[in-house]
Amino acid sequence: MKTRVYVTLKNGVLDPQGKAIHHALEGLGFGGVKDVRAGKLIELDLDPGVTEDEVDEMCRKLLANTVIENYRIERTERAA
Amino acid sequence: MRSAVIVFPGSNCDRDMAEALKLVTGRPPEMVWHRESGLPDRLDLVAIPGGFSYGDYLRSGAMAAQSPVMRAVREAAERGVPILGVCNGFQVLTETHLLPGALMRNAGISFVCRDVALRVENSQSVFTSGYEAGEEIVIPVAHHDGNYQADPETLDRLEGEGRVAFRYVGECNGSARDIAGILNPAGNVLGMMPHPERAVEAAHGRTDGRRLFEGLLEAVSQPA
């Protein structure tokens, strides 16, 4: 089963990479970009028996640093 | 003084740390590979050096925090053994939750590599007893992820409990309240971004880091 974990910086946490991307977009002449936040996408290919709770634990223990990051789990596809 | 330096794949200040410890204590440290599940007996110090453990994959220090040796380091910390984390070592200590907060990408994006002035905020710990409180010292930094952040309650607690060991004098990397180094509640775990081991002999240009190791040596040599 494919599962996606989106890791993003919490609101209010300064995102220097997002800021640099924002400036680069402006430098390319793209107007109307109000803000940019950069995050991570982690794709997991899991055995069907792995529970939501286990994925949540993976996020808390390793995939995200909950001091500064939020995470969102998205199960995308069931194995045939 | 018996010390150990933890070595991860990607550590690159482990030998600098070993040389500094050998110079000041007269005894070379044990070098402990990250796959070890135990530490040598009767240690007076565990040093976690700078570098790019595991290539900074996922987050700086995140993979190293999960390595077998860090379980032993956590147990040693709980027994009161002094643990010094420098640069990547500081990142590892926050990822291990031995210290609060997180070290994020520098606010200015750039890697910062230069001498910085620090103010010694607490001279009462085993790591800082070689300094005077309020004293300014100069120690080099070299990091990309040194921007210390924690929630306001944690920052207030660190300040209130005297756990801010060092503060940058002037802007360095965007760190909350210019924090350069912090202690755990018991005072036996110090994480700091600046590199004291790179300022221990005249050839380094500066020797302000030497007093950290000298103070530590004196503190652990006191009869209990």
Question: A3-15 burial, b for 16+ CB within 10 Å, e for fewer?
Answer: bebbbbbeeebeb
pTM of the model: 0.94
Whether A80 shows a pLDDT value over 70: the answer reads no
**ipTM above 0.90?**
no
- The backbone torsions φ and ψ at residue A21, rounded to the nearest 5 degrees and listed phi first, read -65, -40
Question: A47-60 burial, b for 16+ CB within 10 Å, e for fewer?
Answer: eeeeeeeebeebbe
Whether B177 shows a pLDDT value over 90: the answer reads yes
* Cα–Cα dist A27/A64, whole Å: 31
What is the fold of A2-77? Mth169; Chain: A , (3.30.1280)
Instruction: Give me the amino acid identity at A38.
Output: A
Tokens encoding B17: 């740390």
* Cα–Cα dist B155/B69, whole Å: 29
* Cα–Cα dist B46/B49, whole Å: 10
* Contact call for B174 and A16, based on CB within 8 A: yes
B34 is catalytic: no
Q: How far is CA B53 from the centre of its chain?
A: 15
Instruction: Give me the amino acid identity at B134.
Output: G
The residue of chain A with its CA nearest to that of B63 is A62
The residue of chain A with its CA nearest to that of B91 is A65
Is residue A49 within 8 Å of residue A79, measured between CB atoms? no
Which of B59, B107, B151 lies nearest to residue A16, judging by beta carbons? B107
- Which of A5, A13, A68 has the highest number of chain B CBs within 10 A, making it the mutation to test binding with B? A68
Tokens encoding B35: 């796959």
B13, B34, B87, B143: the active-site residue: B87
Residues on chain B touching A20 (C-beta within 8 angstroms):
109
B195 is catalytic: yes
DSSP labels, A47-74? -TT--HHHHHHHIIIII--TTTEEEEEE
The residue of chain B with its CA nearest to that of A42 is B58
* Contact call for A67 and B100, based on CB within 8 A: yes
What is the residue extent of each domain of chain B? 3-221
What is the residue extent of each domain of chain A? 2-77
Provide the CATH number for the domain formed by B3-221 in this structure. Answer: 3.40.50.880
* Contact call for B104 and A68, based on CB within 8 A: yes
A3-61 pLDDT tens trace: 999 999 998 888 988 999 999 999 999 999 999 999 999 999 999 999 999 999 999 99
Please report, rounded to a whole number, the percentage of residues in chain B having pLDDT higher than 70: 99
